[in-house]
Amino acid sequence: MDKPGKKKTNIVKSFDYALRGLVYAVKTQRNMRIHLITAVLVIIVSLFLNLSRTEMIAIIFAISLVLITEILNTSSELMVNLITDRHHPLAKIIKDMSAGAVLFSSICAILVGYMVFIKQEVLEVLERSIVIEKISSFPPYISAAIIFLVIVISLFIKSLKGENISIIGGMPSIHTAVAFSLASIAYLISGNIYVCLITALLAGLVGQARISAGVHNIWEVIAGALIGIFLTVIIFQTIAF
């Protein structure tokens, strides 16, 4: 018969092993880090939209589903690699099915997010902003000036890191910064959430293209996106008041 103290120790060790597994997944899997960053951003946005309890449960469940399937996908890939180190059709099928589970859960999460966020109450909050009404009347050269500032500040940040001042490679991604700045400008001028979604998707594709081409890593692209968004919003808010 096990002693109570021993059971308690075993439980603590079990939690410790589980935590190590999560940390390993985050440290070694780029997609896991992307999912976590996205989850944090979604939850932060949710806090400002006065969502109902049911809607918050749906959001948290969708996020959890994506993270769980990503962890299982990583586990299955490691298991296959452990069993065999040569190419095998069944091994490929197992990895493809695991990746398919992640893709399916991500699509479900996107659908949940769309149904929760894109509703009349949220659209009214986003489209009836006094700031957006003021910004929509600004002359076109303001946008050009903002893009110029985004490029200059991004180059300045590159120089602080001791890197060659170039728009190719390095921290941050200037292409991504400009793309997300343009997406932010398009939304702020139009005040239309659907324009925001389309331009944000296009900006995201720019960032993905930089990663796929091997010019930037994920963190350089994220840094560029944040610089483009924050600078645009801050400058527009400053001159709107």
pLDDT band at 6 (very low <50, low <70, confident <90, very high): low
pLDDT for the residue numbered 52: 80
Nearest CA among 221, 189, 216 for reference residue 204: 221
The letter for the amino acid at 38 is: T
3-class SS at 214? coil
Domains held by the chain: number = 2
Average pLDDT (67-71) is 88
- Of 103 and 132, the one with more pLDDT: 103
Asked if 50 and 141 sit in the same domain, the reply is no
Asked if 141 and 110 sit in the same domain, the reply is no
User: Which range, of 54-58, 78-82, 186-190, averages the lowest pLDDT?
Assistant: 186-190
CA atoms within 13 A on the CB side of 125: 10
List residues with catalytic annotation.
70
**CA distances, 56 to each of 51, 59, 61 (Å):** 6, 5, 8
User: Which range, of 122-126, 145-149, 208-212, averages the lowest pLDDT?
Assistant: 122-126
Tell me if 21 is assigned to some domain. yes
Asked if 84 and 132 sit in the same domain, the reply is no
What percent of the chain has pLDDT above 90? 0
pLDDT in tens, 104-140: 888 888 778 777 776 655 555 555 554 455 555 555 6
Tell me if 53 is assigned to some domain. yes
Asked if 98 and 173 sit in the same domain, the reply is no
Average pLDDT (173-194) is 81
Asked if 1 and 110 sit in the same domain, the reply is yes
Q: Which domain holds residue 204?
A: 128-241
pLDDT for the residue numbered 53: 82
Q: Are 49 and 118 contacting, i.e. CB atoms less than 8 angstroms apart?
A: no
| Residues in contact with 211: Cβ distance below 8 Å, sequence separation at least 6, in sequence order | 217, 218, 221
- Of 176 and 49, the one with more pLDDT: 176
Distance CA 197, CA 114 (A): 10
Asked if 102 and 169 sit in the same domain, the reply is no
Average pLDDT (2-8) is 56
CATH of the domain at 88: 1.10.287.3610
| Residues in contact with 25: Cβ distance below 8 Å, sequence separation at least 6, in sequence order | 32, 70, 71, 74
Asked if 37 and 103 sit in the same domain, the reply is yes
**Residue 63, pLDDT above cutoff 80:** yes
Asked if 51 and 89 sit in the same domain, the reply is yes
**CA distances, 198 to each of 46, 66, 69, 144, 189 (Å):** 20, 23, 27, 21, 14
Asked if 216 and 197 sit in the same domain, the reply is yes
pLDDT for the residue numbered 84: 74
Specify the length of the chain in residues. 241
